Amino acid sequence: MASGMMLNPGVVRIMRTFANSMMALMVLLTAHTTMAGDSHGHLAGNSAQSVQLLNASARATRPGMSSSAAYMTIRNGTHEAVQIRSLSSPVARKTELHTTEMNNGMMKMRRVDNLTIKPGDTLELKPGGYHVMLMGLDKPIARNSEVPVTITFSNGDQKSVVAHATDEIKGQHMAH
Ligand SMILES: [Cu+2]
């Protein structure tokens, strides 16, 4: 009975070879799965762990205004501090990051270069504070029009957002 259960050596060798091939195949498959998982994880990480531009709005212009401002939330989802290197918009000849400060009782705007956003931090661009200054407008910014803004960061990230133009932004914005 026991001898009936025994496999002849040739069959055992074939089975071993088969088992080895299966092992090799599984190793390959596992390696492939791991690589796929890594690249997928990296992609998912890209959206969650990048710099994000959110909730963008722009100030629709009134007659005679040659500059305007855009506001948004900039979220640094990376694990590194990033600096705002440069800004651009197709509607303006010059686009800069500005801040608004009180200076001898006067509200003044000034350009801010290389502002740092710490990892995990959020920077609010809002009336009376930091804003994207759009200077030298080609044409008026109409209400409900879309104003693209692109920001380049020190980590090489270049992010674009479309700011919705509204005339309902509270607070006056000064001309330069
Ligand atoms: Cu300004």
Residues 71 and 131 sit within 8 Å (Cβ to Cβ): yes
pLDDT at 34: 38
Q: How far is the CA of 103 from the centre of ligand 1 (A)?
A: 15
pLDDT at 111: 97
Greater model confidence, 113 or 1: 113
- Name the burial class of residue 145, with classes exposed (0-12), middle (13-18) and buried (19+) by CB atoms within 10 angstroms of its CB: middle
What are the start-end ranges of the E strands in the chain? 51-59, 67-76, 82-88, 92-103, 106-111, 116-117, 122-125, 131-137, 146-153, 158-166
* Domain range summary for the chain, segments of one domain joined by +: 2-48, 51-166
pLDDT-wise least confident of 7-11, 48-52, 147-151: 7-11
Task: Assign domain 51-166 one CATH number from 2.60.40.1890, 3.20.20.150, 3.90.550.10, 2.130.10.10.
Answer: 2.60.40.1890
Q: How far is the CA of 119 from the centre of ligand 1 (A)?
A: 26
Q: How far is the CA of 53 from the centre of ligand 1 (A)?
A: 19
pLDDT-wise least confident of 94-98, 152-156, 167-171: 167-171
Q: How far is the CA of 109 from the centre of ligand 1 (A)?
A: 5
Separation CA 147–CA 165 (nearest Å): 7
Q: How far is the CA of 38 from the centre of ligand 1 (A)?
A: 43
Q: How far is the CA of 95 from the centre of ligand 1 (A)?
A: 10
From first CA to last CA, the distance across the chain in angstroms is 101
β-pairing, 51-59 with 116-117? unpaired
Q: Give the pLDDT band (50/70/90) at residue 8.
A: low
Q: What percent of the chain has pLDDT over 90?
A: 62
Q: How far is the CA of 173 from the centre of ligand 1 (A)?
A: 8
